[in-house]
Amino acid sequence: MINPSIFKAYDIRGVYDKDFSADDVEKIIRGIYKFFSEYFGSQELVISLGRDMRNSSPEIYQKALNTLLHYPVKVLDLDLCSTPGFYYSVLKLSADAGIQITASHNAGEYNGIKFVMRKGDRIIKVSGAFGMDQVKEAVLSESFVPYQEKIGKKESHHHFDNIYVQDTIAYMGNPTYTKKYKIAVDTANAMGILYLRPFFERYSQNFQVNYINQDLDGSFPAHLADPLVAENLKPLQELVKKTSSDLGVAPDGDGDRIFFVDNQFNIINPTLVTALISDYAFSDNKSYTVVVDVRYTRNVEAICKKYNKNLTLVRVGHSFITEKVNEQKAYFAGESSGHYYFYDFGGAENSLLVLMYMLKAIDEKNKPVFEIVNSYAASFESGEYNFVLPDNLTADQLFNKLKKLYKDAQVLEIDGFTAEFSNWRFNFRSSNTEPLVRLNLEADSKDLLKSKLNELQEFLRSNGLRPKVE
């Protein structure tokens, strides 16, 4: 039996051969196809199909391909492809929809499926708020579009990341660089290498690149491909130090998130990257608003005030942010988990474009990246703290208690409970993927941050919450 919990808020994901099997993949793809055909009102569809490097991905990919070919579908066979490259293929190749086999940053025993639709030049991501429940119901009830003979067609588009790189460079105006820079790269044996290597090879005269963990390996022999966990960035920090690099680069497992290490070996805060790109977007009149999730806002808000532009807040989750970028026609959105979204790429992630903005800043400002990014620091951030609720307390009850305690705050309820003050703020929200509540806090000074964090943690302990044990 398929474990129903694999149907997540943003994708389908679980331990392969435990939570779902190869036979289950056939049912899942049939359920996704049913949703696609109902959405478009047609069974004749063009579908991009890609995969990551996990050990189970070739088997799942082949099962997905064979299943789709039972329908009147043209399958755009990407095979190995990063997730940003996959998103771009749906636009570039005018696909109706796309399916990507990946479990992103999870450990090697996991695998999963992301799926999206195209509406004109927009990417629509399926989520718990749109589409996932229909797919889950179809799969669990085995209510599918009847099979036909193998009438589908396959069209090969292997090495599509090369096209993604070529077109992203062209989008940025085929930039030139005035100096030669040292770059350190740790792709954690995962998919980011598929766009980073061709990019740096294109500019080999400008970048001396030192790679570690560059070979694709779904067992993740060095460390997990989750750069949000500081421990996983230590090898990159050591490489930056050893090679005296100007910048360190670390994508996540499927390449749709990207993190950086500065020339003083510090992990660069993602909101400072968002502020930097927002600075370029506003100064070039590319946008009237920037979108960020509710967790951290103050560093980006300072740039918006500088240009008298808007800051749009949205709940956490890439499907919600993509939707808001498209709705607001915002040039750009940044998420504190390292996702960065661009309107001109359907509202989906483009990690290479983020890297190119970082390199543009280093080259144009003629300063070390440490000085550049810290010039955007207007606030100090706590990092995320996760707590387990006691059985006798719901998240909503907790939020109501917080509302009474901080009754003088400006309150936002976009995603959980957010309290805004003149010199600090915090967000408390329920996790979309785990039975947890998450706390994020920011303040004008380190001392204020520490004081308010202690205050909130004491409140949580008094209400029976305990920190999640990693």
Quote the pLDDT of residue 150: 75
Residue 418 above 70 pLDDT? yes
Quote the pLDDT of residue 68: 97
CA distance readout (Å), 429 to 11, 379, 440, 455? 20, 21, 9, 17
The CATH code of the domain at 4-158 is: 3.40.120.10
Quote the pLDDT of residue 381: 95
Quote the pLDDT of residue 146: 95
Place of tokens 């008094």: 462
Model confidence at 432, in pLDDT bands (50, 70, 90)? low
What tokens appear for 44 in the block? 């004749």
Quote the pLDDT of residue 339: 96
CA distance readout (Å), 95 to 350, 354, 411? 18, 25, 42
Quote the pLDDT of residue 240: 98
Q: In CATH, which of 3.40.630.30, 3.30.310.50, 3.40.50.300, 3.30.365.10 is domain 380-467? A: 3.30.310.50
Quote the pLDDT of residue 433: 64
Q: If phi over 0 gives left and psi between -120 and 50 gives alpha, with beta otherwise, what is residue 366?
A: left
Q: Which among 420, 421, 440, 422 has a CA at the least distance from the CA of 430? A: 440
Is domain 270-374 in CATH 3.40.120.10, yes or no?
A: yes
Model confidence at 259, in pLDDT bands (50, 70, 90)? very high
Quote the pLDDT of residue 299: 95
> What pLDDT digit, counting tens, does each position of 292-319 carry?
999 999 999 999 999 999 999 998 888 8
Residue 128 above 80 pLDDT? no
Quote the pLDDT of residue 470: 60
Q: How far apart are CA 150 and CA 295, in angstroms?
A: 48
Q: What is the mean pLDDT of residues 268-290?
A: 94
Radius of gyration of the chain (CA): 22
Strand partners, 402: none
Q: Where in the chain is the domain with CATH 3.30.310.50?
A: 380-467
Residue 435 above 80 pLDDT? no
Looking at every residue in the chain, the average pLDDT score rounds to: 95
In three-state secondary structure terms, 178 is: coil
Residue 21 above 80 pLDDT? yes
Q: Which residues of 19-37 are buried (b: 16+ CB within 10 A; e: fewer)?
A: bbeeebbbbbbbbbbbbbb
Question: Which pTM does this prediction carry?
Answer: 0.94
Express as a percent the part of the chain with pLDDT over 70.
99
Model confidence at 430, in pLDDT bands (50, 70, 90)? confident
Q: How far apart are CA 85 and CA 337, in angstroms?
A: 19
What fold is seen in the domain 163-261?
Alpha-D-Glucose-1,6-Bisphosphate; Chain A, domain 3 (3.40.120)
> What pLDDT digit, counting tens, does each position of 139-177 carry?
999 999 999 877 999 999 999 999 999 999 999 999 999
Quote the pLDDT of residue 436: 84
CA distance readout (Å), 272 to 182, 277, 364, 374? 21, 9, 17, 7
Residue 170 or 392, more confident: 170
CA distance readout (Å), 402 to 19, 310, 315, 405, 427? 37, 28, 19, 5, 11
Residue 332 above 90 pLDDT? yes
Q: What is the mean pLDDT of residues 376-393?
A: 92
Quote the pLDDT of residue 179: 95
> What pLDDT digit, counting tens, does each position of 129-143 carry?
789 999 999 999 999
- The single-letter DSSP state of residue 267 is B
Q: What is the mean pLDDT of residues 90-104?
A: 97
Q: Where in the chain is the domain with CATH 3.40.120.10?
A: 4-158, 163-261, 270-374
